Structure 1
Amino acid sequence: MRGLKGKTAIVTGGGQGIGRAITLRLAEEGCNVAIFDLKPDTAEETAAEAKGGAVKVYGVDVGDREAVDAAVAQVTQDFGDIWLLVNNAGWDKPMPFLKTDRALWDRIININLYGPLNTHHAVCPGMVERGGGRVVNIASDAARVGTSDEAVYSACKGGLIAFTKSVARELARKGVLLNAVCPGPTNTPMMASVLGTGDDAVKWKDAMVRGIPLKRMGEPEDYAGIVAFLASEDGNFITGQTISVSGGMNMI
């Protein structure tokens, strides 16, 4: 991709799953990548595998605004001005909505919605001041079509899409472009924890695959390219868009 070499990127939740693939791809493109992750040991393993740009790990809870502010300041000191913010960190505990409680809602919202609000508010002012930057928010097709047992998570991701479009309008004239990428079902550690093991897990996975025209689950690497594209000079005229990467599962 053009124009990424030497740029600084933050990837939240960049230690495993989709975030890991994004981190490795951006480093391959020549970016210096800051991983914000609650599991720094796992993230260090990802950093050790990166080739190209430098990768550094910061133990950060994105739901903690003070921690985010401190980490962003440190990234700027370590790598320089931040060109790209990728909000990838996410978490869910699927169950029927009527069986959930306020404590679960708060945890899901804190990670999936407040987390991106915190990082945008900490990073985007610098982009505006410099007259350029990119944000890619990893949302979900659950936000676009709804998903059983993920009502609050879907609400957060739907809010993230609307937020992305709104801020994209606000910052377009400042040269800051924001887009959302919506993964479909994907083979990640979070998906494995949701499905569990055994025959029921196999049946659930098979049922999801039957609904995907390309007849396979997504892999983390399926998303890294579109993120790199949107961050590069090739994405100079794209903002406020919601892009589904789901093997054709949701053609809307």
Structure 2
Amino acid sequence: MPESVAPLTGRTALVTGAASGIGRAVAARLSADGAHVFVLDREEREAKEVAAEVGGEHLVADLGDPREIDALGLGTEIRADILVNNAGFQHVAPVEDFEPVAFAAIHRVMLQAPFLLARALLPGMYAAGWGRLVHVSSAHGHRASAYKSAYVSAKHGLEGLSKVLALEGAGRGVTSNTVCPGYVRTPLVEDQIADQATSHGIAESDVLHDVLLARTAVKRLVEPDEVAGMVGFLCGPGTDSITGTSHLMDGGWTAA
């Protein structure tokens, strides 16, 4: 391939939770690398804006509802060579106060939806002999934090799902990997500061240093573009043998 041709030219990517934060950065990176990007989010206005920015198309669905996932027509009306499972949300509370409805909702969006999306798109990837599954996991896919029972268990489950997908896709040109950042400068992180302050009994101004970055050697938030760069790498050339792996971007959190 000539150097002037972007590495993902001719590929189609589906990015979930792509209206903001990491997903928005990933959509921009994959588009810059030549892919046609489907921007999937439950927020239609924001999804349209991002799709316009990257020259792609927008899709709207609540990934917590399997019926809305089915209605997208993935694998039939819409095919993709690349799936980036990024959508997620957080709820912070001790187990005895954690509402079962919230626990189940987090698992539907962050573990069941990635399974359903992969299930729909894999036949097309297998038929083409090429595909990339990249799941935005977290350092919490490897470590636990108090008051995050749903998020931590969902991310641990996503790590296992990715490995199974890697084994099943081996020999068929499809890879599956996770990207595991620490705390990223996104609305998801900003929105949990008040709950963290309440759970830990500290001031909101102390949450970033005393809670979020307490176990991180590099004392700063990860930037969305850094995560997008790793996703772009895993979807790019020279990665056929990189599968079933988990790429930590946690500022040294899990090194200690």
Establish whether TM, by shorter chain, passes 0.5: yes
Counterpart position of 1:201: 204
Local SS of the residue matching 2:142: helix
Local SS of the residue matching 1:121: helix
Q: Cα 1:92–1:44, aligned 2, differ >3 Å: closer, same or farther?
A: same
Local SS of the residue matching 2:110: helix
Question: CA offset at residue 101 of structure 1?
Answer: 2.4
Q: Cα 1:91–1:210, aligned 2, differ >3 Å: closer, same or farther?
A: closer
Among candidates 145, 148, 151, match of residue 147 of structure 1: 145
| C-alpha distance in 2 between matches for 1:147 and 1:35 | 31
1:189-212 Cα deviation digits (max 9, x unpaired): 111110149982221102233532
Counterpart position of 2:81: 83
Higher mean C-alpha deviation, range 140-149 or range 13-22 = 140-149
Counterpart position of 2:169: 171
| C-alpha distance in 1 between matches for 2:190 and 2:159 | 25
Counterpart position of 1:69: 70
**Partner AA of 2:244 in structure 1:** G
RMSD between aligned residues = 2.1
Does the alignment pair 1:245 with 2:249? Answer: yes
Does the alignment pair 1:220 with 2:218? Answer: no
Counterpart position of 1:30: 34
| C-alpha distance in 1 between matches for 2:213 and 2:155 | 22
**Partner AA of 1:70 in structure 2:** A
| C-alpha distance in 2 between matches for 1:214 and 1:148 | 21
Q: Cα 1:72–1:88, aligned 2, differ >3 Å: closer, same or farther?
A: farther
Counterpart position of 1:42: 46
Question: CA offset at residue 159 of structure 1?
Answer: 0.6
| C-alpha distance in 1 between matches for 2:103 and 2:113 | 14
Unaligned runs of 5+ in 2: none
Unaligned runs of 5+ in 1: none
Q: Cα 1:214–1:76, aligned 2, differ >3 Å: closer, same or farther?
A: farther
- Indicate the percent of aligned positions where both proteins have the same amino acid: 32
| C-alpha distance in 2 between matches for 1:69 and 1:111 | 14
Counterpart position of 1:20: 24
- Moved runs in structure 1, 4+ residues, more than 6 A? none
**Partner AA of 1:229 in structure 2:** F
1:121-148 Cα deviation digits (max 9, x unpaired): 1111111122110100111111211011
